[in-house]
Amino acid sequence: MNILVTGSNGQLGTHLRLLAPQSSHRWLFTDVAELDITSREAVEAFVAQHQVELIVNCAAYTNVDKAESDEATAYRINAEAVGYLAAAVSNAGGRLIHFSTDYVFGGNPNNTPCTEAEPSNPTGAYGRTKLAGEQAALQHHGLVFRTSWLYSEYGKNFLLTMLRLTAEKPELRVVFDQVGTPTYAGDLARAVFTLVESGEYRQHEGIFHFANEGVCSWYDFAKEIARRAGHTACHILPCHSDEYPSPVKRPAYSVLDKSKFKQTFRQEIPHWVDALEQCLSKIKNEC
Using the Cα atoms of residue 279, residue 280, residue 283 and residue 284 in order, give the sign of their dihedral.
negative
**3-state DSSP helix/strand/coil % of the chain, to nearest 5:** 45, 20, 35
Using alpha carbons only, what angle is made at residue 227 by residues 222 and 231, rounded to the nearest 5 degrees? 90
Q: Given the residues 84, 126, 154, 253, select the one marked as catalytic.
A: 126
Yes or no: say if 181 and 216 are a contact pair by the CB < 8 Å rule: yes
The C-alpha torsion from 181 through 187 and 188 to 191, rounded to 10°, is -130
Please state, in angstroms and rounded to a whole number, the distance separating the CA atoms of residues 286 and 280. Answer: 10
Quick one: how far is CA 121 from the chain centroid?
A: 18
Q: Which of 188, 95, 84, 85 is nearest to 146 (CA)?
A: 188
C-alpha closest to that of 157 among 189, 184, 187, 129: 184
Q: DSSP of 179-200, one letter per residue?
A: EE--EEHHHHHHHHHHHHHHTG
Indicate if 75 belongs to the active site.
Answer: no
- The Cα-based distances of 45 to 31, 35, 183, 271 in angstroms read 16, 10, 34, 41
Is 146 within 8 Å of 256 (Cβ atoms)?
A: yes
Alpha helices (H) in the chain, listed in sequence order? 11-19, 40-49, 64-67, 71-75, 81-91, 125-138, 158-168, 185-198, 218-229, 259-265, 272-286
Catalytic residues: 126
